[in-house]
Amino acid sequence: MIALTTPYLWYATRATGIAAMLLFTLVVCLGALVTTRAGGTFIGRFEVNEIHRSISFSAIVFLIIHIVTTILDAFVSTGPISAVVPFTSSYKTLPVSLGTVAFDLIVAVWISSLMKVRIKNVTWRFIHWFSWLAWVTSLLHAYTTGTDARHGIVFVVLIASTLAGVAAALWRIFARPARAAGRTALSPLAHAPTQSRKSNPPHFPRVPTAQRPVRPSQRGRR
């Protein structure tokens, strides 16, 4: 196994870890917008969904770089197994295990997204909830593992990411439940019969021809 000891690996680990945390915060925030089908004239729902997918892919790339640089850095003895199996790292066992759990959950969500057309929608939605648990675990991992996470700019980034995620969760729960539920198949409006254009309005019933009253001017012609 290749192991290196250089401060640049540590800098790369910290930078990619913070970048991955910020990107995953954007992912959960955009995911809340996609779920509630938010969109307007400036940015439509399709654009929000595409941005959500693109940032998700970028976050996974930064996360992989973060893990690889951590394994290659000989200053800390984490090992490749600790990247996928929790509680196997001799360096800060619990904090590193939190990051491992977050990575495993993210992989599960990613695989379920790739297999979305082959699995049930209920199963996909259940697995997709793991993204929120992965996001929370990643914040705890960043706070407990990083030596600079409790002060300075990194602490500000952690607080901002937490507030953004909480706001997105509140938006998903309380802000627009009627709009999201009103477009599902269970909506009463979805099963309401549509009235044909040629049908008569209910407040103006059409009298049949046989029962129409004959006007006085027409009696003499018959």
Question: SS in 3 state form for 94-143?
Answer: HHHHHHHHHHHHHHHHHHHHHCCCCCCHHHHHHHHCHHHHHHHHHHHHHH
Q: Are 142 and 17 in contact (CB under 8 A)?
A: yes
User: For position 150, what pLDDT does the model report?
Assistant: 78
- Three-state secondary structure call for residue 88: coil
**Rounded to whole angstroms, how far apart are CA atoms 183 and 50?**
20
User: For position 190, what pLDDT does the model report?
Assistant: 37
Would you state the structure tokens that stand for residue 195, as one six-digit string?
Answer: 């009235």
User: For position 184, what pLDDT does the model report?
Assistant: 38
Q: Look at the block and give the residue holding tokens 């938010």.
A: 38
Q: Look at the block and give the residue holding tokens 């910020």.
A: 22
User: For position 189, what pLDDT does the model report?
Assistant: 34
User: For position 210, what pLDDT does the model report?
Assistant: 54
**Rounded to whole angstroms, how far apart are CA atoms 101 and 109?**
12
User: For position 64, what pLDDT does the model report?
Assistant: 94
User: For position 181, what pLDDT does the model report?
Assistant: 43
State phi, psi for 15 to the nearest 5 degrees: -65, -45
Residues 6+ apart with CB under 8 A from 92: 144, 145
Q: Please report, for residues 12, 44, 53, 131, 138, the alpha-carbon distance to residue 50 in angstroms, rounded to integers and kept in the order given.
A: 28, 10, 5, 17, 24
User: For position 176, what pLDDT does the model report?
Assistant: 59
User: For position 197, what pLDDT does the model report?
Assistant: 44
User: For position 214, what pLDDT does the model report?
Assistant: 53
Which pTM was predicted? 0.71
Residue ranges for the chain with pLDDT beneath 50 = 1, 179-201, 204, 222
